[in-house]
Structure 1
Amino acid sequence: MEKTYLRVQDVKEIIGVSESKAYKIIQALNKELKSKGYIVVAGKVPTKFFKEKYYC
């Protein structure tokens, strides 16, 4: 079963970046979601949205 949300460690492993960069990516994605009217969870990003934005 696929995770609904990705955490910092997940993003870090998927795209091979540092922990601080993973946090910045999650913040940027959540900022975009929030501007579209979605409720966001700090430190997590929806898997579906992440996959739309990053080619994995």
Structure 2
Amino acid sequence: MKEFYTVGDVQIILGVSRAKAYKIIRGLNEEMEEEGYKTLKGRVNKSKFDDRYMYKGKQRNGVV
């Protein structure tokens, strides 16, 4: 099971260019570093990415 997404993964998931995918990864990795985590260039933590970019259908008062 993958713990990190690569630039290619981000491109496919979001349908963005390679340059945009790198920009997204850099931004998320900066956040991770500010939180005290170590990061890998060109890869982003799957949980952090999913938390920021994947719609989870959070409910409010029983409505999705």
TM-score bucket (shorter structure): over 0.9
Larger Rg: 2
The CA distance in 2 between the partners of 1:53 and 1:17, in whole Å, is 16
Structure 1 runs, 4 residues or longer, greater than 4 Å off: none
Normalised to the residue count of structure 1, the TM-score between the two structures is 0.93
Aligned length: 55
Amino acid at match of 2:31: E
CA RMSD of aligned residues (A): 0.9
Report sequence identity in percent. Answer: 42
Amino acid at match of 1:24: K
Higher RCO structure, 1 or 2 (CA under 8 Å, sep 6+): 1
Q: Secondary structure at the match of 1:21?
A: helix
The CA distance in 2 between the partners of 1:36 and 1:48, in whole Å, is 14
Residue segments in structure 1 that go unaligned for 5+ positions in a row: none
Match of 2:47 in 1: 48
Residue segments in structure 2 that go unaligned for 5+ positions in a row: 56-64
Specify which structure has the higher proportion of helix: 1
Normalised to the residue count of structure 2, the TM-score between the two structures is 0.82
